[in-house]
Amino acid sequence: MKRIRRWLLAAIVLAPHLAGATCASTDACLAAIDKAQAGTQTISARFTQIKHLSLLDEPLVSTGRFAFKRPDRMRLEIETPRPATILINGRDIRIPGMTESDKQQLAMTPMAAMFTELGAMFAGSADALRGHFEVTATPADGAVTVTLTPTVPAWQRLFRTIRLRFVEPDFALASVQLDDALGDRLDIAMSDVQRNQDLPDSLFDAVPPPAP
């Protein structure tokens, strides 16, 4: 379940990216994020995910593809080393092949509510995050780093911070860092980010579309 939770968090934070003017304060950056979402219909990208675990000497590396379609459909496809797919449609989370027991366990965790809150950042209401997170945005070295620190006790038991780095000139999402409550860290690096390409609805169905 811990691996599933990390993948789900990754799916949320990989959603639409900034595309706007440089901001000089947290309020200005949140306003820029809201403005950018008005023109974001789809996102597709490749990613490399590196897990730094306190119990292991070497990090765990996985790669895959991410896709987002407005308003709230996401597909996170892990390709290596263990193939897995996560589909999110609003509050509905589907993991093909997941057991019914794991589905029920996931539904009972604080994660489902947190996914909805994180989605606010990519639905034109980023300021709403302040109800459950301490939010800061810091511009530096041609990029803006948005840091989310949970203020809800149940979420604090899961992770400490989420950091998202948006890079000029178009403020595309370049990397994500998740620090969990146990001291482990998840780093995600983005590449080949494509905005507003035509993504069919079938891509976000439980059964993937046939290869062209």
Could you tell me the domains of the chain?
2-191 (2.50.20.10)
pLDDT at 104: 60
Residue 163: strand pairing partners: 147, 177
pLDDT (tens digit, 9 = 90+) per residue, 18-74? Answer: 344 467 889 888 777 777 767 778 888 999 999 898 888 889 999 999 888 887 788
pLDDT at 10: 55
Written as one string, the DSSP assignment of 65-129 is EEEEETTTEEEEEEEESS-EEEEEETTEEE-TT--HHHHHHHHHSTHHHHHHHHHGGGTT-GGGG
pLDDT (tens digit, 9 = 90+) per residue, 110-120? Answer: 555 555 566 55
Mean pLDDT value across the chain? 77
* Dist CA 42 CA 86 (whole Å): 17
Instruction: Give the mean model confidence (pLDDT) for residues 151-158.
Output: 87
pLDDT at 173: 77
pLDDT at 146: 85
| b/e burial code for range 181-201 (CB count within 10 A of at least 16 → b) | eeebbbbbebeebebeeebee
